[in-house]
Structure 1
């Protein structure tokens, strides 16, 4: 069966996300592969993307967004989630406060509508960790989650 798929590697596991327009699992010359970071927490999977092209630069505001889905494939828009985002420098010491707590807003990107997004201005080149925590607006819609994403920022 020829199903359009793209693979995202995370913590030595590979998950497939269906996308329209990709017709083969085999590499094709000239095909651009999307490389978003995906993490899973309990019943929620989240894919993070940073504009432009997952290549943030120090001192330059970058739109960062999160496509969230439940295990049964339902999208989780910001309107259904009390989400909070925290940005930490790495390595992080115990008890260290986040350097930023960007305000999340509903954004529409790559076919996703109303997903959590924020503009982040990473102050310096180096390693950062983004932690997205969420609880359902409607009690019982999904369990609370915490997703951790590593980000490497260029000069």
Structure 2
């Protein structure tokens, strides 16, 4: 039985909601892999290398948490590493509907189970897209992302 779990995402950028999920599963599993999605068809605000660096900085305080990138099917990434569980945070019903379909597919094609964690009350409203939009419009994002991410986001927007 695997005592490892994968927490996947694009993390463009990592938010306090993402970090909450990683911290919660790190208390329950021996090893956590934060898997940063490589999506060649999508150009994010941060490069893959920047996203990995930000995630590594944000999880540095946690033992037995590693950060890696993946492209293609998440179940293949899990199979290659001998990991049988994916952890996902859910903010609401919309997340659940989409993620339940994905979880059933992952179990069917890869024998990988998905663990759903309800978002913490402080993070239920937080998404990477919303954080970027609020930052673009000059709003406060410091409550939604770690300090290093807020600085990186402000720097990225200042650079054009």
Normalising to structure 1: TM-score of the pair? 0.23
Which has the larger share of strand? 1
Normalising to structure 2: TM-score of the pair? 0.23
Structure with more relative contact order (C-alpha pairs < 8 Å, separation 6 or more) = 2
